[in-house]
Chains A and B, each alone.
Chain A
Amino acid sequence: MKRFVYILVIISLLFSAGFAEEAENNNELDFTPKGKLEIKDKGNDDGTGVNVFFRPQNKPEEVKYYLLRVYYKSVSEDNLAAQYRIENKDRRYKFNVSLQKRRKHPYPNSRKGVARVYVSNEKGEAVKAFLTESTNTSASWFNINKLSAFMGVLLFLLFVYIFIKQARRGVEFFIRKIPGLEELDNAVGRATELGKPIYYIPGIGTTSRIATLASLNILAPVTRKVAKFATPLKVPNRDPVVMSIAQDVVKEGYMAEGRPDLFNSNDVFFLTRQQFAFAGAVSGLFKREKPGAVFLLGKFYAESLIFAETANDVGAIQIAGTDSVSQIPFFIAACDYTLIGEELFAASGYLSGDPLIVGTMKAQDYLKAILIVLLFIGIILNIFDIDIITKYILQR
């Protein structure tokens, strides 16, 4: 029984509140407020966006200020999503509103938006409501505006898939030899002449970095060359997983040249995981052992110059290569030869024929060809003020 009384009290309170609001809004005005209000679902979103348009049809002398309120679901103070003061300047106003409960937990989002326009005063208070419009919104499964990005990504993935598959099946793709690739041989030869060891650093990245894999691919032919001359080769590592792969690669390289006796698993070693501690340890090794050639291939970060500068100091011939754009300038400044960015992958693909790398390289080349063509057409059309490509393909 008590419960019913409570409910009754609550209902009556709600009603009185509603009436109070109405009463407040029923102020007499000496003109009829007019205007055109539209509320539309924004589309291509999660169903929370609405666009609200309002065109006042009173002269500024009659109504100087309006107030636009946008509610989610229904008109109530709790559901207010946004409000805008509008000074009547006799033009069309547009607002993007996101329908959300302000205070409470936002799930579930509304599927209905209500816009209501009030005549307002200088303080921005609502004086009289005169227009209400509402719309249902819906969440989209697909954002049609991003169609061209979707197609582009799909095309690229298709290329990668097809070429890797073909490369794995044994199709041989042509990849041109990087002009500086002989430098690898020269460096090994130089170190042998001087009778000094060779250091090979496969970067400080993990195996998830494609640059590390590319570096390990280059390590194989370098080892074979080293095995021929019986020059000592050392590979310091920062990542234990990379180290174990590098050990296998070096071992196989010596075996392939028929010199398994030269392989000592302690020559491929782990130093430390700390970035700068690793840099310090390696440069210490350089100082003590004075290598004749240093290979810095793989992923490098801020420590790149520490390696390159120390090796330069001890007079080693240096071959560097990385895909970290911000480190390339340092390598160019301090090393004898630098593989710039993708050249590292191309060299790796050329030397190893690894289907993963060759396939990706090929896919990238096709994509680049398409982009170059697109660029050409776009530029030419753009000179004649035709913006099909930029507007419908690239800006999406």
Chain B
Amino acid sequence: MEAISTLFWPTVAVLLTLAIYTFLWEDNPIYKVAEHIFTGVSVGYMIAQSWHNIIMPKLIVPTTNYFSNGRYLLAIYFIIGGLIGLLYLSRFSEKTSWLSRYPIAITVGFYAGFKIVPIWMTNVSKQLNATIQYPNGDSMLNLKMFGKFFDNPTWGNFISAINGPIIVIGVLLVLIYFFFSFSNDNIVVRASRKPALVVLMLGFGGSFGYTFMARISLFIGRMNYIFSDWIEILTTTLGG
């Protein structure tokens, strides 16, 4: 019996992995079966998990607890929240679907209001600050770094000397590239277009390479599962 719990399910996982990879040859029924199992299982799993991890512990249990503890005000908060949330269900009927706008308005309003300042700080002011100076307070266009490089011309010093200027120039170029108020004939727009594209393409190239690495890692992960974990289980279960 133990073999079923320890060996059976991992083997199913291995078979399903292989079934998905058959797609690399061509589309086939084995792949389709695996795909449909996945879709079906994930939907069912999500429904069950949502019930046990959201509706019960986040709404029903605290409400009943607060009622039994005599904290009626808190319980009423939960009930009001729950009722507003239930308005989402009004979408099932065309007549009442306008009601669902209330919970949407509340959540969107809350998030938009709350997000805007942190986004400004995270993506604008702090990033701009980092374009002017390094985290340790050194200036990005630090002439001392060049001095250091000319005193001791190593590769590392060269990189640290040109790093700051590259970032500053790159940021300025790309900001101008996405500046739409000047016409195409404008000398600044025309002159910066090509170099800005080079900077952008370098960035995208880096991103592409990283994504490739990620995809390979996923494949390695599956192979790791089959050739390390599963083989390990197989040998220990059958051998011992």
Q: Are both chains from one complex?
A: yes
Q: Establish whether residues B140 and A390, one from each chain, have CB atoms under 8 Å apart when the complex forms.
A: no
User: Closest chain B residue to A341 by CB distance?
Assistant: B178
Residue of B nearest to A143 (CB): B117
Tell me the complex Cα distance, A3–B212, Å: 76
Point out the residue from B39, B137, B183 that lies within 8 Å of A176, measured CB to CB. Answer: B183
Chain B residues with Cβ below 8 Å from A75 are: none
Interface segment, A222-230, A251-259, A325-333?
A: A325-333
B68 interfacial by beta-carbon distance below 8 Å: no
B125–A153 touching, CB < 8 Å: no
Which of B128, B176, B178, B182 touches A374 (beta carbons < 8 Å)?
B128
| Interface: A371 (CB within 8 A) | yes
The residue of chain A having its C-beta at the shortest distance from the C-beta of B104 within the complex is A208
Q: Are B128 and A382 touching (Cβ within 8 A)? A: no
In the bound complex, residues from chain A placing their C-beta under 8 Å from that of B126 are 394-395
- Find chain B residues with CB under 8 A from A170 CB: none
Task: Say if the beta carbon of B184 comes within 8 Å of chain A.
Answer: yes
Give the number of chain B interface residues (Cβ < 8 Å): 40
CA distance A231 to B22 in the complex (A): 38
CB of A371 within 8 A of CB of B181, answer no
Query: Within the assembled complex, what's the spacing in Å between the Cα atoms of A152 and B179?
Result: 19
A177-B184, A374-B128 known; A329+B207 contact, CB < 8 A: yes
B132 at interface by CB-CB < 8 Å: yes
CB within 8 Å for A375 and B125 given contacts A179-B184, A329-B207, A341-B178: no
Q: Residue B125 contacts which of A177, A385, A395 (CB distance < 8 angstroms)?
A: A395
Q: Does B171 contact A (CB under 8 A)?
A: yes
Q: Which of the 9-residue segments A85-93, A314-322, A361-369 touches chain B? A: A361-369
Residues from chain A with a CB closer than 8 A to the CB of B184 are 176-177, 179
B interface footprint on A75-115 (CB within 8 Å = 1, 0 otherwise): 00000000000000000000000000000000000000000
Interface 0/1 of B179-195, CB less than 8 Å to A = 11111100001000100
A174 to B189, alpha carbons, bound, how many Å?
Answer: 15
Question: A171: which B residues are within 8 A, CB to CB?
Answer: none
Smallest CB gap from B171: residue in A? A375
B139 is an interface residue with CB less than 8 A from chain A: yes
The residue in chain A whose Cβ has the minimal distance to the Cβ of B186 is A176
Bound complex: CA A151 to CA B189 (Å) = 30
Among candidates B39, B125, B132, B172, residue contacting A382 with C-beta atoms closer than 8 Å: B132
From known contacts A149-B125, A382-B133, infer whether A175 and B180 are also in contact, taking CB-CB under 8 Å: yes
Q: Which of B39, B132, B172 contacts A389 (CB 8 A)?
A: B132
Pick the contact of A361: B120, B168, B180, B207 (CB < 8 A): B180
A358 CB, min distance to chain B CBs, angstroms: 10
Considering only residues 172-209 of chain A, those with a C-beta below 8 Å from chain B are 173-177, 179
A146 to B118, CA, bound (A): 10
CB pair A390–B120 under 8 Å, yes or no, is no
Query: Which residues of B are found within 8 Å of A382, using beta-carbon distances?
Result: 132-133, 139-141
Closest-by-CB residue of A relative to B206 is: A329
Within the assembled complex, what's the spacing in Å between the Cα atoms of A390 and B138?
12
Bound: A275/B141 CA distance, A:
46
Taking a contact as CB atoms under 8 Å apart, the answer to whether B181 and A375 are in contact is: no
Instruction: Give which listed residue, A148, A274, A368, A395, contacts B179 with CB less than 8 A.
Output: A368
Interchain CA distance A325-B204 in the complex, whole Å: 8
Contact A149 B168 (CB under 8 A): no
* Chain A, interface residues (CB within 8 Å), range: 35 or more
Contact of A249 with B by CB under 8 A: no
Pairwise interchain contact B181-A362, C-beta atoms closer than 8 A: yes
Task: Say if the beta carbon of B61 comes within 8 Å of chain A.
Answer: no
Known contacts A374-B128, A375-B132, A390-B129: A153-B117 contact under CB 8 Å? yes
- Let me know if B63 is at the binding interface, CB within 8 A: no
**Nearest Cβ distance between residue A146 and chain B, in whole angstroms?**
7
> In the complex, which residues of chain A have a beta carbon less than 8 angstroms from the beta carbon of B137?
387
Q: Contact check: which of B121, B128, B193 meets A375 at CB < 8 Å? A: B128
Q: Is A340 an interface residue (CB 8 A)?
A: yes
Report the separation of the CA atoms of residues A152 and B117 in the bound assembly, to the nearest whole angstrom: 9
B residues in contact with A374, CB < 8 Å? 128
Within 8 A of A (CB), among B162-182: 168, 171-172, 175-176, 178-182
Q: How far is the CA of A277 from the CA of B35 in the complex (A)?
A: 10
Say whether B208 contacts A333, CB under 8 Å: yes
* B140–A379 CB distance below 8 A: yes
Contact across chains for A372 and B208 when beta carbons are under 8 A apart:
no
B14, CB-defined interface residue at 8 Å: no
User: A150 near B204 (CB under 8 angstroms)?
Assistant: no
Q: Judging by beta carbons under 8 Å apart, are B178 and A150 in contact? A: no
Question: Within the complex, what minimum Cβ distance (angstroms) separates B98 from chain A?
Answer: 14
Minimum Cβ distance to chain B for residue A104 (Å): 12
Given contacts A146-B117, A149-B121, whether A330 and B180 have CB atoms under 8 Å apart is no
Closest 8 CB pairs of A and B: A394-B129, A329-B208, A329-B204, A378-B132, A382-B139, A365-B181, A394-B125, A346-B180
A residues contacting B by CB (< 8 A) are 146, 148-150, 152-153, 156, 173-177, 179, 274, 277, 325-326, 328-330, 332-333, 340-343, 346, 349, 361-362, 365, 368-369, 371-372, 374-375, 378-379, 382-383, 385, 387, 389-390, 393-396
16 more A-B residue pairs beyond the given contacts A149-B117, A372-B172, A394-B125, with a C-beta to C-beta distance below 8 A: A148-B125, A149-B125, A152-B125, A329-B205, A329-B211, A361-B180, A365-B180, A368-B175, A371-B124, A378-B128, A379-B132, A379-B139, A383-B141, A387-B137, A393-B125, A394-B126
21 contacts between A and B (CB under 8 A): A149-B120, A149-B121, A152-B124, A174-B183, A325-B207, A333-B208, A341-B178, A346-B180, A365-B179, A365-B180, A371-B124, A371-B175, A372-B175, A375-B172, A378-B128, A379-B131, A382-B132, A382-B133, A382-B140, A383-B141, A390-B132
